[in-house]
Amino acid sequence: MTETMTTSPRDEALRAIEQSAALRALFEHARALLDDDPGHDVEHCLRVAGWTLRCGGPQVEVREAVAAALLHDVVNVPKDDPRRAEASALSAREARPILAAFGFDAAAIERVAHAIEDHSYSRGATPRL
């Protein structure tokens, strides 16, 4: 049995975070920003990060994938709010200065922001990548 079959996606995300000082700091920052809604809390973001790593395979840039997952719900628009479809764009906008503060270069910031905005169920569109 492979290691990914015996570890949860959440544990895979935590291992990636532990291996990077930038991700450890970003994780703590994101934890403080996320609310306690179980659908949008830090545990949800860890599961998203783990599944991103697992589904993306070895070609995924781990630091960027985990950063996108940690910040994808940094702006939580309620389900009944008319701006709900904009939540991912709002989170991407909010993520840019955070990523810059944690040492991501301009190109990485844009890739992460694009991933946050593009991979949103509430947006109602199929991701481009």
Summarised one tens digit per residue, pLDDT across range 77-113 is: 888 889 888 989 999 999 999 999 999 999 999 999 9
Determine the Cα–Cα distance for residues 122 and 111; give it in Å rounded to an integer: 20
Q: CB of 76 within 8 A of CB of 87?
A: yes
Alpha-carbon gap, residue 8 to 49, rounded angstroms: 11
Distance CA 14, CA 46 (A): 7
List pLDDT tens digits, range 66-75: 999 999 999 9
Q: Which residues contact 39 (CB under 8 A, 6 or more apart)?
A: none
| SS3 of residue 2 by DSSP | coil
Tokens, residue 89: 């764009």
- Predicted TM-score (pTM) of the model is 0.87
pLDDT tens track for 8-55: 999 999 999 999 999 999 999 999 988 777 778 899 999 999 999 999
